[in-house]
Amino acid sequence: MSHRFDESDVRVRPGKGSRPRTKRRPAHADATEAMVISVDRGRWGCAPGGRPDHVVVAMRARELGRTPIVVGDRVALVGDLSGDRDTLARIVRVEERTSVLRRTADDTDPTERVVVANADLLLIVVALADPPPRAGLVDRALVAAVAGGVVPMLGLTKDDLGDPEAFAAQFADLEVPIFLVGRERPLDDLYERIDGKTTVLLGHSGVGKSTLVNRLVPDADRATGDVSGVGKGRHTSTQSVALPLPASGPDTDGGWVIDTPGIRSLGLAHVTADDVLAAFDDLALAARDCPRGCGHLGPPADPECALDDLTEPAARRRVAAARRLLVALSSVNPHG
Ligand SMILES: Nc1nc2c(ncn2[C@@H]2O[C@H](COP(=O)(O)OP(=O)(O)OP(=O)(O)O)[C@@H](O)[C@H]2O)c(=O)[nH]1
Ligand SMILES: [Mg+2]
Ligand SMILES: [Zn+2]
């Protein structure tokens, strides 16, 4: 049905409203888009246009208040963009994020920290020895990834000191790609996967994140440290930094790899069971038939969970994978 437009559709309001409006431009429409690549005490390192060749140091404009700005954020910059020594640009806007990797200090502390924004991939870095690998942290990192919209992968380092088979086998049912990235290993497979993407590395202190970043980005020059024993990782890296991957061709960007400081634990106070389930479309759909407040763990905790109505083998495997993450979420963080 069409609507006939005639004079009566035009409302004529007397006074102010009838004056021709000046076209309202969004504030700072002329600002330059940039990617945040480092953060240090109230100063943000920004790459205009997301290109790595020019870095501008910026402050946060007063009007943004305490809006968190983290590595990976897309921001709008005004002011001096020369990048010259002692110049300071201003961040006037933080764009909507496509993904957010968050953590809380522990499972009971609701204060969230955004680790990185807009990452495509999370490489969970685990050493096969020194420090010894912990499957629990991997499960928790998988939960944080699926809840934040980041695709998880597993990177195993120090395979010269420990056997990858047994550890990797624990993740066989999760459909998470596993890369052997020890110091002596070629990195071709990993390069192929992360080419053109933004990949954040996360793991305990001393597992070899910065060592790996230095191999991926030849002039990165990230400091690497010694590991003197369990829990004694010295936290060599103290800030997150995004570094540009070498381009694989003349017309491509190589993407970014983000090195982060080692973590001792990964609090998940901000994640709910439904956040986890949302990452498994088919299961989220089936779970609509669950009773209210269902934790989806199955009997005995959730005897009427609708996920138990799924009988097809592939679906059963996915239910098992999802439940494993739900267990990781519901178990108390042992290192909090
Ligand atoms: N044997 C062996 N040692 C490695 C390997 N990869 C890294 N290392 C060593 O492990 C130590 C810690 O490496 P880093 O790269 O500093 O670890 P990190 O994960 O960045 O640590 P934080 O910055 O504290 O979070 C260094 O002495 C590295 O030389 C490896 O594949 N095999
Ligand atoms: Mg480091
Ligand atoms: Zn359920």
Confirm or reject: Cβ of 211 under 6 Å from ligand 1.
yes
Q: Model confidence over 165-197: pLDDT tens digits?
A: 999 998 888 889 999 999 999 999 999 999 999
The more confidently predicted of residues 19 and 33 is 33
pLDDT at position 24, please?
Answer: 56
Atom 2 (ligand 1): residue with closest C-alpha? 158
6 located within any domain: no
Give the range among 15-19, 88-92, 143-147 with minimum mean pLDDT.
15-19
pLDDT reading at 224 higher than 50: yes
**Helix, strand, coil content of the chain in percent (nearest 5):** 25, 20, 55
Query: How far does the centroid of ligand 1 lie from the alpha carbon of residue 30, in Å?
Result: 44
pLDDT at position 165, please?
Answer: 95
Reported pTM: 0.87
Does one domain contain both 222 and 284?
Answer: no
pLDDT reading at 142 higher than 90: yes
Does one domain contain both 135 and 50?
Answer: no
Q: Whole domain around residue 202: which residue ranges?
A: 100-259
131 located within any domain: yes
* φ, ψ for residue 313, nearest 5 deg: -55, -45
Confirm or reject: Cβ of 157 under 6 Å from ligand 1.
yes
pLDDT at position 175, please?
Answer: 82
Give the range among 211-220, 224-233, 246-255, 318-327 with minimum mean pLDDT.
224-233
8 located within any domain: no
Structure tokens at 205: 């202190």
Ligand 1 closest atom vs CA 157: 31
What does the alpha-carbon distance between residue 103 and residue 5 come to, in Å, rounded to a whole number? 54
Does one domain contain both 84 and 124?
Answer: no
11 located within any domain: no
Other beta carbons within 10 angstroms of residue 75's beta carbon come to: 26
What does the alpha-carbon distance between residue 46 and residue 71 come to, in Å, rounded to a whole number? 9
Does one domain contain both 127 and 215?
Answer: yes
189 located within any domain: yes
Does one domain contain both 220 and 107?
Answer: yes
CATH (domain of 50): 2.40.50.140
Does one domain contain both 120 and 150?
Answer: yes
43 located within any domain: yes
CATH (domain of 178): 3.40.50.300
Does one domain contain both 87 and 115?
Answer: no
Does one domain contain both 243 and 123?
Answer: yes
7 located within any domain: no
Does one domain contain both 183 and 318?
Answer: no
Does one domain contain both 238 and 126?
Answer: yes
Ligand 1 closest atom vs CA 238: 23
Confirm or reject: Cβ of 233 under 6 Å from ligand 1.
yes
Confirm or reject: Cβ of 224 under 6 Å from ligand 1.
yes
Identify the domain boundary among 94, 125, 142: 94
Q: Using 50, 70 and 90 to split pLDDT, how confident is the model at 17? A: very low
Atom 7 (ligand 1): residue with closest C-alpha? 208
* Percent of the chain at pLDDT exceeding 70: 88
Considering only CA atoms, give the Rg of the chain.
24
How many separate domains does the chain show? 3
